[in-house]
Amino acid sequence: MKVLIIGSGGREHALARSFAQSGNISELYVAPGNAGIALQFPCVELFCTEQIIAFCQNRQIDLVFIGPEKPISEGLSDALRAASLNVVAPSMAAARLETSKGFAKELMLCHRIPTAKYYKLSKDDELNQACQELGFPLVLKADGLAAGKGVIIASNPEEASSAYLALANNGQGVIAEEYLTGWEVSLFAITDGVSFQTTVFAQDHKQLCDHDTGPNTGGMGAYAPVPEAEPYRREIETRIVAPVLQAMRDIGCPYQGILYIGLMITKDGPKVVEFNCRWGDPEAQVVLPLLETELSEICSAIVNCEVDKLKLRFKTTTALAVVLASAGYPFEYQQGTPIHIANQVMDKVLFSGVAASEKGLVTAGGRVLCLTCLGSTLAEAREIAYQNLKLVHFEGHKYRKDIGLRTNLI
């Protein structure tokens, strides 16, 4: 099988590693990838959809895996399918589950899928009504893609008003949501639009600092599996995953690909915080290394609509990933700082924001890399990851020291 992965982050590096372990991969490319991924896999610059299609036709690519939401939201999966290519990613219309929070919330409301109560705000006076109905803290969200940074939690009417203005000023619609209390966990559904199977649970650590403090980020670390979430799996599959896939079929947008379900486990059971149309980053960096089933087999089942026949298996070990970010992230951050990595940990490093220079790899993004380690228990995976982290360094690097400490589980 010849595979092209679209994307340039740690998730795509994890996808490439996972594909490379499949027995039947003859060629594997990442477009555009990054200078760190390029140390291990061929990276190609393809600047537009036409170039991607031409590349796939010339190289006889059997499968395109689109990692990030942005190209999906711009219609890449549709264009590739129209060119008769096999694609793992939902259509642009199905991806509205992520790209339009308004669409996702309305669909959940119509199908009684458990989620936070919400208001779609189009005027200031609706905000007052939302404040009264939903109380405080109040969650305000941009209606479109915001790279994990479009959520503001307001604790009083003044904060709500300025949050509304800040989000509305970005030109997007705004959603006000009831604040959910509980603990968060992510689950992934592998689906051909009709059948689905779910992965191990993963836990992201979205806030910048230890003990879940500081600003929200794209994710500072993760681990999988999360045994505490297992008692909820059946309920999540029957009350959330099955109805959302059915609803998408009913409106003529079958969802084919990987569906990310961000959940809050509340005292009333699991509720949806968000859907994403792709693997999570950094969740992919801990879920994919646990796969026992080959990723190529999973992808074939998705594109051939045979997910019901897929034998999805995971290792019984635990994977833990710690993200190293640039000083200043998630705000303005430094770039061009040399990165030092000891050879013996290179196979555990997945690269995101890096570039090549005469001095070797340098930082070129907020989240620079992540280190993923496996252990027979969570404590062991943690121990190994933080030991190995001592062998990775760049000036000003920032990381959380409490990944996997489970202080955030109630």
Site residues (CB under 6 A) for ligand AMP? Answer: 116, 139, 141, 148, 151, 177, 179-180, 184, 206, 216, 262, 273-274
78 binds, among ligand GLY, ligand AMP, none (CB under 5 to 8 A by kind): none
Give me the 277-316 binding string for ligand GLY, x by CB under 6 A, dash otherwise: ---xx-x---------------------------------
DSSP 180-231: P-SEEEEEEEEESSS-EEE---BEE--EEEGGGEEEE-S-SEEEE--GGGGG
151 binds, among ligand GLY, ligand AMP, none (CB under 5 to 8 A by kind): ligand AMP
139 binds, among ligand GLY, ligand AMP, none (CB under 5 to 8 A by kind): ligand AMP
In the complex with ligand GLY, the residue whose CB is nearer, 114 or 282, is 282
What is each CA distance from 183 to 94, 264, 265, 287, in whole angstroms? 27, 5, 5, 19
Residue at 80: amino acid letter? L
Question: How far apart, in whole angstroms, are the C-alpha atoms of residue 286 and residue 288?
Answer: 6
Neighbouring residues of 233: CB distance < 8 A, sequence distance ≥ 6:
187, 198, 201
Q: How far is the CB of 185 from ligand AMP (least distance, A)?
A: 10
The torsion angles phi and psi of 234, rounded to 5 degrees, stand at -60, -45
Q: How far is the CB of 324 from ligand GLY (least distance, A)?
A: 16
In the complex with ligand AMP, the residue whose CB is nearer, 41 or 103, is 103
197: contact with ligand GLY by CB under 6 A: no
What is each CA distance from 169 to 118, 143, 164, 166, in whole angstroms? 20, 12, 8, 5
Q: Computed from CA positions of residues 350, 20, 284, 388, in that sequence, does the dihedral angle turn out positive or negative?
A: negative
Total number of residues shown for the chain: 410
Q: How far is the CB of 249 from ligand AMP (least distance, A)?
A: 24
219: contact with ligand GLY by CB under 6 A: yes
Whether residue 307 contacts residue 196, with contact meaning beta carbons closer than 8 Å, is answered with yes
157 binds, among ligand AMP, ligand GLY, none (CB under 5 to 8 A by kind): none
71: contact with ligand GLY by CB under 6 A: no
283 binds, among ligand GLY, ligand AMP, none (CB under 5 to 8 A by kind): ligand GLY
Residue at 317: amino acid letter? T
In the complex with ligand GLY, the residue whose CB is nearer, 98 or 192, is 98
Cis peptide before 114 (omega within 30 of 0): no
Q: How far is the CB of 393 from ligand GLY (least distance, A)?
A: 25
Q: Which residues bind ligand GLY (CB under 6 A)?
A: 148, 204, 219, 276, 280-281, 283
